[in-house]
Every structure is written in C-alpha cells, then in structure tokens.
Amino acid sequence: MIDNTKIKYLSVHDASPKFQKELEIIFDKLKKIKIKNKSIAVVPNWGFKWDIRKYPKFIRLMRKKQKEGWELVLHGYSHSNPKHIPWYNLFFGIEDGWEFYNLNYNETKELALKGLKIFEEVFGHKPKGFIAPNWRLSEKGYKAIKDLGFEYTTSLRHIKWFNKKWENIPVFFKCISGYSLPNKVLNLFNNITIKQTKVRLVIHPHDKI
Ligand SMILES: [Zn+2]
C-alpha cells in the first residue's frame, strides 16, 4: 500500500447500486485511513439500468458517507460508451466509460445535466465536482462543465479548478486488477506516478484492495 502521507486526495469511483457490495467492502477497508480530502464519484444511472433513485439502500450508504466527511461528486450519467466506437466496446465493454470523451459543447452539457438532475433529486444539493468517466472530456466539454456551474473537474494528471489554475496532482490507481495489456500500461504509469510527492488515489469496485 502506498504511504498515506503521499495521498492528497482519495476518491472511490463508480459508486452505483450495481456495486453496492463492493462499495461496502471498500469503505470498510478505508475506515482507518485518515485523509481530509475524500470524494465518492457517483454514477446516477450506470449502464442505463441502475438508476440510483430506485435503490434506497445505496442512497443510505452515500448519505452516511457524506456525514462522515466524504464529498459526493458527479461521475457522468451512465458511464457507458457511445455506440460509435464499437472497436473499443468490443474490447472493453460498453460500460468502460468513454462516455464524454468526444462530445461537443451541447452534447456534454445535455448529458451532464441528465446526471445532475438525478443527483440533485436524490441528494438535495448540487455537487461541486464533475469527473468524466475515464477522466475524458473534450476541450469544449471543459467549458460546458464550467458553464453548468461546477467548481472543478479532473483529468488524469490534473485537477482543474475553474476559478484557479490547473493543479498538478496525478492520479494513482491502486492495485489494478487483471493482467491485460492496458492494465500493464496503467501499472507502469503508476510506478512513475508513485514517485511524485503527492498523488490522488483512486479505488474502483473491481480493484483488489
Ligand atoms: Zn468511472
């Protein structure tokens, strides 16, 4: 495990009722870690079939975490890929999250709004942060997210505060599972990233922690 003092931001991704069991295990394991900046990336309607409004148990878990100091951020809408990149979907599955990467300004705004509407309905407030699945936003997408009133978004290597400069805080993936080529590349990237003084640690439901 990475030295806790190196972690500036801790984020648990892909919070969806689909991963209820995994999320409970992750939060249980993270209980003892003391990090001030903690966030949970909520997916309002994973795969177009896991609408969080229908899952009170999930909502209860999120509210409990909020009370414990976790910030809830919006993580796309469905975390699913558009149909026009079939080669990618074939290899990685439709839910692997390039949801926003090549959308234009209006498309980004429209899709983020769909997620925002559910988030606000469930949690009664607007999230400060928007994280695109796989951290992929187009240039126009950044502007759309800013114009929707979010305070920040993130890329793979930065946090973009809309009223400040880019903050260079690379992301570190913990224990990427599997041995596929993309994961090997990510692990290589991790080994470089871990040498930085401060990182963001991101944990996904399929990670082995
Ligand atoms: Zn994600």
pLDDT tens digits, residue range 130-184? 999 988 888 899 999 999 999 999 887 788 888 877 676 666 665 444 445 555 5
Residue pair 4/201 in contact (Cβ under 8 Å)? The answer is: no
Specify if 36 maps to a domain.
Answer: yes
Kindly give the distance from the C-alpha atom of residue 40 to the centroid of ligand 1, in angstroms, as a whole number.
Answer: 10
The residue-averaged pLDDT of 31-37 equals 84
134 C-alpha to ligand 1 centroid (Å): 6
- φ, ψ (nearest 5 deg) of residue 94: -70, -20
The CA 135 to ligand 1 mean position distance, Å, reads 8
Q: Provide the domain count of the chain.
A: 1
Query: How crowded is residue 123: how many other Cβ atoms within 10 Å of its Cβ?
Result: 17
Q: What is the mean pLDDT of residues 122-135?
A: 95
How many whole angstroms separate alpha carbon 76 and alpha carbon 42?
A: 8
Cα distance between residue 11 and residue 162, in whole Å: 20
Spatial contact of 160 and 154, defined as CB atoms under 8 Å apart: yes
**Residue 66 C-alpha to ligand 1 middle, in angstroms?**
19
- How many whole angstroms from 147 Cα to the centroid of ligand 1? 22
- pLDDT-derived band of residue 185, with 50, 70 and 90 as boundaries? low
Q: Which two tokens stand for residue 142?
A: 């950044």
Confidence band for 67, pLDDT divided at 50, 70 and 90: very high
- Expressed in angstroms and rounded, the spacing between residue 96 Cα and the centre of ligand 1 is 8
- Ligand 1 centroid vs 4 CA: distance in angstroms? 22
What is the pLDDT at residue 8? 81
Rg of the Cα atoms in the chain: 16
Q: Give 3-21 pLDDT, tens digit per residue.
A: 566 778 889 999 999 999 9
pLDDT at 176: 46
Q: Domain residues for 133?
A: 4-203
Per cent of the chain over pLDDT 90 is: 50
Q: Ligand 1 centroid to 136 CA: how many Å? A: 10
How far, in Å, CA of 123 to CA of 72, rounded?
A: 9
Separation CA 29–CA 84 (nearest Å): 38
Write the pLDDT tens digit of every residue in 39-56.
999 999 999 999 999 999
The CATH number that applies at residue 133 is: 3.20.20.370
Phi then psi dihedrals of residue 127, to 5 deg: -70, 150
Q: What is the pLDDT of residue 178?
A: 46
Indicate whether 209 belongs to any domain. Answer: no
- Residues with Cβ within 5 Å of ion ligand 1? 13-14, 97, 133
